Amino acid sequence: MKMEFENPTNGYVEEVDGAWFYTLLFGCFYLAYKGAWMAAIFAVIVAIFTFGISWLLLPIFAADILKKSYLQRGWIERTVETHNEQLTEPRKRSSEHQRKLNDVKKKMGW
């Protein structure tokens, strides 16, 4: 499941896609890479006490862990509808830009 989170201070968008796969491959290091440090440290401690068996269960919860981490840090979850609206919204042209565009169209005979 693909999720997108936007940092409200600078507009940076971070994608979380395939979290279960990357967590299965890299374990807590993937969580640390995505900024979920507390979850990564907790995963290491639990893995030590369970002799690594918990690393097989961690991918099941990876997407939820990352979602909670981003939301706690103040990021905003972007929905597919919001993203599509931004893509389909026509750009507003300035009057000068529109005038130049009309001049080019007249020269080309459109």
Instruction: Match 């991918």 to its residue by tokens.
Output: 59
How many CA atoms are closer than 13 Å to the CA of 39, on its beta-carbon side?
Answer: 25
Question: Residue 25 belongs to what domain range?
Answer: 3-108
pLDDT at 108: 66
| Structure confidence by residue, pLDDT tens digits, 16-58 | 888 889 888 988 899 999 989 999 999 999 999 999 888 888 9
Residue 9 has pLDDT above 70, yes or no: yes
Tell me whether residue 95 is exposed, middle or buried, using C-beta atoms within 10 angstroms of its C-beta: 0 to 12, 13 to 18, 19 or more: exposed
The bridge status of strand 13-16 relative to strand 3-6 is: antiparallel
Total domains in the chain come to: 1
| Structure confidence by residue, pLDDT tens digits, 61-103 | 998 999 999 888 888 888 765 555 555 444 555 566 567 667 7
